[in-house]
Amino acid sequence: MSSSASSPPGVRTALDYWHRAEVWVATIAFGGIAVILVYDVLVREAVIPLLTAVGFEARHLVLFGSQKIALFLLMWGAFAGIGIATWVGAQLVPKVAFKAVPEAWNDRMNRIADLVTTLFLIGVTIVASIFVAESFQSGQIASGGVRVQVWLVQLAIPVGFASAALRYLAFLIWPDLRPQDGDSIE
Amino acid sequence: MNALILVSLVAALLVLRQPLLVILLAAIAYAQIAWGSGHLTWIIEDMFVSLDKELILAIPMFMLCGGVMTQGTTAKRLTDVARALVGHLPGGLGVAGIVSSAIFAAISGSSIVTMLAIGAVLYPAMQEAGYSKRFALGTVVSGGTLGIIIPPSIPLILYGLVTETSIVDLFRAGVGPGLLLVGLFALYSVWANRSMPRQSFSWPALMVAIKNGFWSLMMPVILLGGIYSGFFSPTEAAAVALLYAVIIEMFVHRELVFVDLKGVVFDAAKLGGALFPLIAVALSLNLILIENRVPDLMLGFVEGWITSPITFIIVVNLFLLAIGAFMTTAEAILILGPLLAPLAVSFGFDKIVFGIIMIVNLEIGLLTPPVGLNLIVAMSAFREKFGLLVRAAVPFILLMILALGLISFIPEISLFFVR
């Protein structure tokens, strides 16, 4: 388990493209949230009172269900982010028990860790897919002023976990793809 | 027996170097199988429902806002104002560092962002002015920690979410302890540098600094003023702050171009990708804990050992200080917040005050090895040795422990701005 081949260039390229696609999804989602919330506040707190004061009816400018749309975007941005955080090494990994095994075993331990994570995330992907399939069959519509089929939003969950599982599988097969420790949130 | 298996499972996953996301999900799945209905799809449903909260939207907004300001010159302008204002005091540059960190913290909501933004300007300036490297580093890394106690603060939002506490009240409660820490740090700076040559105070220099930094200084006024006056919710305030930051940095300071925004959004997506699924999982864990009356069971267990609130808070503080040395702030809040907050309430502590106590403990954890994140980031950002950074932080850690004691036993420090 300790010896490993370096990754074929095609694999890194393919994963890089997948990463870029996820970055775009997240960028659109987070940028979209910012635009929607800023628009919402501006229109409600500034534009409408101003236009009303000078005699214009401006209630149609309100984006109904704006918070809900922003939350749906957050869902896609957040779960696209699992893959992004995995690829750039920004997943939070508690290091409290890292010294439980000798340092010489580090590479081996990392591969065992990647194997366990891969299997676990595949399991989560399956459970999440069942959940989305049930939601699809029930035809449930979102509440909060946005008439969207809920499964379209929920789909972000299995896709995000599957993407992360794929990354960990790649790290398991080609450890040179494994990122160094990344950022954290404080 | 089931509890023992759960603890063993978590311990095994920690040894197996699993991401926190996996550890939490595995713990929830086990709890659902052992104590719940066994429907694993309900965990996913809980995750979905947990993220469906308007308040969560404040977090990406503050992340984006912090990113925009780090790219621009807000930190430099704030530091210039603080230097012109308090630079004439003994240890004035140190005081300026603390004051500018505090003002920046009132915008950013993050410890690392505050430390990097202010430290990049102030650390070289302090060295140039003859301050010891140790003191300068201590000021910068400790000043950065103010980012998570002075509102707005992402850890305070997380605590509010997992314990269902008003985030506006938590933001209000953070002001008193934040000012206490600023006061203690500033006094220490004056005392530690009492023999340093002093600069003379200059009104014209202060006026110029205020003129240049006016738009940056208005940021915390708009942000916190909007929240505290009830004009904006925290989410709306975060959106306004982001818009304001973009306008100021792009069109007034002209330090940011449109292309830079993509990098800012990418960084937010990266951090959000690590954080939001965790929030969803932690909130769904919270639901399972409540359904299975785990806080009540824990209370029964703890009451068998501890009866006095004073003993309780001392034990919890020592526990959190130890945890802070090994876990990051977000991890500790998401896991321990839902478990400890009900215990604290049952011992007569206000949930808001306990949130502040928890954050101050974890704030100290940012400066204690081995996982003192401010130390780790400072090591690469300022290219200094870890040992030096640890020694530099020691006097500030002692001051923070003093502040923690005061905050723990005098709730009015936190509640003064809440009531």
pLDDT at B75 over 60: yes
- pLDDT value, residue B263: 84
pLDDT in tens, B373-384: 888 788 877 888
Alpha helices in B327-383 (DSSP H): 329-346, 351-365, 373-381
The answer to which of A134-138, B253-257, B286-290 has the lowest mean pLDDT is B286-290
pLDDT in tens, A134-149: 999 998 888 767 788 9
Top-confidence residue, A57 or B9: B9
pLDDT in tens, A62-104: 888 888 899 999 999 989 988 988 998 877 787 777 778 888 8
Please state the rounded mean pLDDT for residues A94-122: 88
Q: From B83, B102, B117, select the one nearest B148 (Cα to Cα).
A: B102
Task: Look at A186 and B243 and tell me if their CB atoms are within 8 Å.
Answer: no
Q: Does B364 touch chain A (CB under 8 A)?
A: no
pLDDT confidence bin for B186, thresholds 50/70/90: very high
Of B22, B41, B47, the CB nearest to A117: B22
- pLDDT value, residue A160: 94
Top-confidence residue, B173 or B224: B173
Please state the rounded mean pLDDT for residues B47-73: 84
Q: What is the ipTM for the molecules in this complex?
A: 0.87
pLDDT at A110 over 50: yes
Q: Does B331 touch chain A (CB under 8 A)?
A: yes
For the ranges A142-151, B125-134, B168-177, B254-263, the maximum mean pLDDT occurs at B168-177
pLDDT confidence bin for A181, thresholds 50/70/90: low
Q: Which chain B residues have a beta carbon less than 8 Å from that of A96?
A: 14, 326-327
The answer to which of A29-38, A132-141, B220-229, B361-370 has the lowest mean pLDDT is B220-229
Q: Which chain A residues have a beta carbon less than 8 Å from that of B154?
A: 185-186
Residues 109-128 of A with CB under 8 A from B: 109-110, 112-113, 116-117, 120-121, 124, 127-128
Q: Does A40 touch chain B (CB under 8 A)?
A: yes
- pLDDT value, residue B354: 97
Q: Which chain B residues have a beta carbon less than 8 Å from that of A67?
A: 54, 57, 235
pLDDT in tens, B290-346: 777 777 777 777 878 888 999 999 999 999 998 888 777 887 898 889 889 999 999
Cα separations in angstroms, B331 against B20, B27, B28, B158, B206: 8, 14, 16, 10, 42
Q: Does B271 touch chain A (CB under 8 A)?
A: yes
Q: From B185, B118, B114, B115, select the one nearest B151 (Cα to Cα).
A: B114
pLDDT at B222 over 90: no
Measured in angstroms, the CA of B52 and the nearest CA of chain A are apart by: 6
- pLDDT value, residue A125: 97
- pLDDT value, residue A1: 43
Specify the amino acid at residue B173.
A
Of B51, B265, B370, the CB nearest to A74: B51
pLDDT in tens, B138-156: 999 999 999 899 998 889 9
pLDDT confidence bin for B36, thresholds 50/70/90: confident
Of A38, A90, A157, the CB nearest to B47: A157
* Token reading at B55: 């308040």
- pLDDT value, residue A186: 44
pLDDT confidence bin for A185, thresholds 50/70/90: very low
Q: Does B327 touch chain A (CB under 8 A)?
A: yes
Q: Does B153 touch chain A (CB under 8 A)?
A: no
Q: If DSSP states are collapsed to H, E and C, what string results for A75-121?
A: HHHHHHHHHHHHHCCCCCCCCCCHHHCCHHHHHHHHHHHHHHHHHHH
- pLDDT value, residue B137: 95
- pLDDT value, residue B334: 86
The residues, ordered by sequence, that sit 6+ positions from A174 with a Cβ below 8 Å of its Cβ are A4, A5, A6, A7, A8, A11
Please state the rounded mean pLDDT for residues B41-50: 88
Residue of A nearest to B28 (CA): A124
Q: Does B387 touch chain A (CB under 8 A)?
A: no
pLDDT confidence bin for A5, thresholds 50/70/90: low
* Token reading at B2: 């089931």
Task: Look at A29 and B269 and tell me if their CB atoms are within 8 Å.
Answer: yes
- pLDDT value, residue A4: 58
DSSP at B39: -
pLDDT at A54 over 80: yes
Q: Which chain B residues have a beta carbon less than 8 Å from that of A110?
A: 17
DSSP at B350: -
Of B18, B60, B236, the CB nearest to A116: B18
pTM value is: 0.79
Please state the rounded mean pLDDT for residues A53-69: 86
pLDDT at B386 over 70: yes
Residue of A nearest to B273 (CA): A81
Top-confidence residue, B232 or B408: B408
pLDDT at B225 over 50: yes
- pLDDT value, residue B12: 92
Of B111, B243, B268, the CB nearest to A30: B268
Chains A, B: CB contacts within 8 A come to: 210
Please state the rounded mean pLDDT for residues B348-360: 96
Please state the rounded mean pLDDT for residues B60-64: 86
Q: Does B265 touch chain A (CB under 8 A)?
A: yes
pLDDT at B60 over 70: yes
**What is the distance between the alpha carbons of residues B258 and B219, in angstroms, rounded to a whole number?**
21
Please state the rounded mean pLDDT for residues B157-180: 93
